[in-house]
Amino acid sequence: MHRILRLLARPVTYTRWLHLLIPVAFVAIWLFIDMDHLWVLALVVVPLGLIPAVRLEEGIQAQLLLTPGERGRPDASIAVAPSATWRDRWRTVLWLEARLVLSGVVVACTVWAPSLSVDLVARGLGNPPTVFSWLDACPPSRWWLIPLAVVPLMVMAVCLVLAGDLITFLARALLGPSATERLTALEERTELLLERNRIAREIHDSIGHALTVAVVQAGAARAAGDPAFTDRALIAIEETGRAALEDLERVLLVLRETGLPASQRPTLLEADRLIESARGSGAEVDAEFSGPLEQVPGPVSREGYRILQEALTNVLRHSGPVPVRIRMAVLGGRLEMDVTNPLTGGAAPGAKGGSGLRGMRERAALLGGEADTGAHEGEWRVRVRLPLDSLI
């Protein structure tokens, strides 16, 4: 009894009740047309359920009234989509039939249970019943009939709770997403997670590079004690910070405007900005580019820029202003990039478990390429191979 009272306190119990009462309007219309053949209505809903849009309408209504907590969620247990297959259509037909039957039961409980309670009270007070004439067989002024008036109301409450749970179960079984719809939702969620991961890498690479350059420049300026060098360091910090703010603004625009073209992100044609930033930090950068970089596809060029940015950031962060050699070439249908620097006494890049090296490998893998990082003949080398026909 306590559980029933607790369930009656839920708002969803009454939205489910409303959902079960809605078909009464259609039944009333049918009775106005043909009162003697109500059973024919069960046949009429068959062609109605075969209409693809009916599943969409029923799904919206069921999700709103039966499972309001799942409304609008991609993992909702009730689908909001038209029928895509014949299986979906026949499941919709079964749903309409089940809804009619349960609606009849709930309407009967809703109408007759309160009427019986009223007649029991009336008969207990010595008045004739108005609906249930069989109560006339009870002797008049039987006061014990009055407490019995609670029983029909309790039966109605139990009926409402059970019918609401049953109709919700049937809705999930018959209007739930098909295997194709579940797969589509999973793919959309995967794409969303990949996009979030990409944005996180964008922020990590751009801001991490700017902060690393600023830290190295500030440290070098303090150690040098040369006003001219300090001025150059401040200029370099200013330019790097401004570039990082531009990158951050681009990422924020992606978050605000889902339709923002990816072409607004930096490409390898802007690699000079990274090289000058590294040189401004005191590193001797020997860069050599060969091949038509302007013909590199946009996705490859954008991701290649980020890989180069992370490689230079790792050099400055872990080895400081050391000589760096960059070799980049477009040949044989692929982009090849090698970034090397001498190993110093400090920890090798990535030795402390940072995400930069993993991010480079992930970017390369998404493009169908590969990125190898590690010590090689006394140097730290980042070796990247990206096919030019990759698409993101």
Give the model confidence (pLDDT) of 342-374 as tens digits. Answer: 887 554 555 444 566 777 888 888 788 898 988
392 falls in which pLDDT band (50, 70, 90)? very low
**Residue 33 is encoded by which pair of tokens?**
């047309």
Sign of the C-alpha dihedral, residues 282, 288, 294, 300? Answer: negative
Q: In what order do the strands lie in the sheet with 285-290?
A: 285-290, 324-331, 334-342, 379-387, 370-376
Quick check: 333 and 387 in contact, CB under 8 A? yes
259 falls in which pLDDT band (50, 70, 90)? very low
195 falls in which pLDDT band (50, 70, 90)? low
Residue 334: pLDDT over 50: yes
Residue 98: pLDDT over 80: yes
Residue 256: pLDDT over 80: no
The residue count of the chain comes to: 392
229 falls in which pLDDT band (50, 70, 90)? confident
pLDDT in tens, 156-182: 888 888 999 999 999 999 998 877 677
pLDDT attached to residue 7:
75
Tell me the three state secondary structure of residue 383: strand
Beta strands in 106-211 (DSSP E): none
What is the CB-side half-sphere exposure of residue 329 using CA atoms within 13 A?
5
Mean pLDDT comparison of 24-33, 71-80, 210-219, highest-scoring range: 71-80
**Cα dist from 85 to 61, 162, 173, 177, 216, whole Å:** 21, 31, 16, 12, 62
